[in-house]
Amino acid sequence: MPVDMSTLLLMFPVVALSMALAILIVALGRWNDDGLAHWGSSLLMLALAFPLFVVHGHMVGLSPLLVVFGNVLLAGSYALALVAVCLFFCRPRPSWRALAPVGLAAAGSAVFIEQADVRVALGGVLFGVQGGMVVHEVLRRSNGVLERGRMLLAIGAAMVAVLYLQRSVGVMLGWREVAQWQTPHWIQVGSHLLGLAGLIFTTLGFVLMGKERADAEHQKLAQLDALTGVPNRRALMESLDRVLAQAVREQRPVALMMVDIDHFKRVNDSYGHLAGDAVLAAVAACLKGGLRAQDALGRYGGEEFLIVLPATDAPGAARLAEHLRQAIEKMVVLWAGQEIRVTISLGVHARVPAGQVQASTLIDTADQAMYAAKRAGRNRVEIQALSLPPGAPIAVD
């Protein structure tokens, strides 16, 4: 079946323009936020470039500068795509890598304006290199986990790079039909289809990267206590379950610390609840700063924090608890020109879990040890190996 090259080529601006308008509408007011506006602008330049080639090929006598402008727009489109990827990953804009190809496209098109085969070969190498730069930026290890969006974008950019490079190879092999886009040569048809697929892949990949990042941020926020920035109770319990399961398999000890701020109600009554919030955040930051990377700290409720210490026995947990107690005792929270000082009581429990040990059992024992520290005068550490018998009610404030 014969292929109408004009129709095939015009599919690019139609698809690119549709995507560009949709993305630019979404990106309103977010020019430098995540690269989305730059990506939409890249698609817009691509949509403007291809009609110039179609018009120049159909209308004899038009200025050959249309080809120059078209190649400059193509190079500018891929340059903006590279800038968009860098902005998405919060990197500096690649000034020379973005601007140099645009200048080379303009110079090369102007110099070889009457030599279509040379112009196509040089343009293919240039645009192929630009596609390769986008692939490299997307696949950098510093970007974190290679998720579906990044993979899709990288595949699409690689398809674009292959599109242009194979056109250059075709010209070098003497297939002059490649330089005449109106001729339905198999390389022409294949490259246009490959380019259209690459356009769709790259744009969907970029959009999907944004969605995956937003989903990850929402999941992270759902696991954090909004006030203190440490994991909330639900996330902490999930972490504790994983630590216990590993400890049972490896028969290694696990230690828990229940931490309560002494006389916290007095802070709220004396300085106000906003001051109390500041104290909670400061205590959480101080505790977190004294822990190892593998330890888990979370807000258990109110002014209580729970600390999970993998592979830690009772003596090791006791030493760490005393270090944390002293750090909080020395801490000063500045609020409205006043210095607020607080202390903490810590209950420590450590054991080598066996069988189907319940997290609630360990937490309850650490909690009872914390109550024992309260009974003993506060601002101290108590270690409890076994559950305490029920005692008199304890006022905790």
- 137-165 pLDDT per residue, tens: 999 988 777 789 999 999 999 998 988 88
Instruction: Say which residue the tokens 């356009």 belong to.
Output: 199
- Residue 222, pLDDT > 90, answer no
Of the two residues 195 and 261, the one the predictor is more confident about is 261
Sheet holding 381-383, edge to edge: 296-301, 304-310, 254-261, 344-351, 381-383
Task: Yes or no: say if 179 and 115 are a contact pair by the CB < 8 Å rule.
Answer: no
pLDDT digits (tens, 9 = 90+) for 12-24: 888 999 999 999 9
Domains along the chain? 5-221 (1.20.1070), 233-383 (3.30.70.270)
**CB environment 240-275: b (16+ within 10 A), e (fewer):** beebbeebbeeeebbbbbbbbbbebeebbeebeeeb
- Residue 193, pLDDT > 60, answer yes
CA dist 243 and 182 (Å) reads 66
Q: Residue 118: exposed, middle, or buried by beta-carbon count in 10 A (0-12, 13-18, 19+)?
A: middle
Please list the alpha-helical segments (H only) found in 59-181.
65-88, 95-111, 116-138, 148-172
The average pLDDT across 164-192 equals 70
Least confident residue range of 135-144, 204-213, 251-260: 135-144
pLDDT range class, residue 60, cuts 50, 70, 90: low
Task: Yes or no: say if 9 and 58 are a contact pair by the CB < 8 Å rule.
Answer: no
Rg (CA), the chain: 32
For the chain, what is the mean pLDDT? 86
Beta strands 381-383 and 344-351 are parallel
Characterise 378 by phi-psi region: left (phi > 0), alpha (psi -120 to 50), beta (else): left
Query: pTM of the entire structure?
Result: 0.71
CA dist 304 and 228 (Å) reads 12
pLDDT range class, residue 220, cuts 50, 70, 90: confident
Of the two residues 217 and 208, the one the predictor is more confident about is 208
The greatest distance separating any two alpha carbons of the chain, rounded to the nearest whole angstrom, comes to: 101
pLDDT at 397: 40
- Residue 72, pLDDT > 90, answer yes
Angle at 260 between CA 258 and CA 265, to 5 degrees: 160
Angle at 229 between CA 86 and CA 286, to 5 degrees: 115
CA dist 27 and 20 (Å) reads 10
pLDDT range class, residue 84, cuts 50, 70, 90: very high
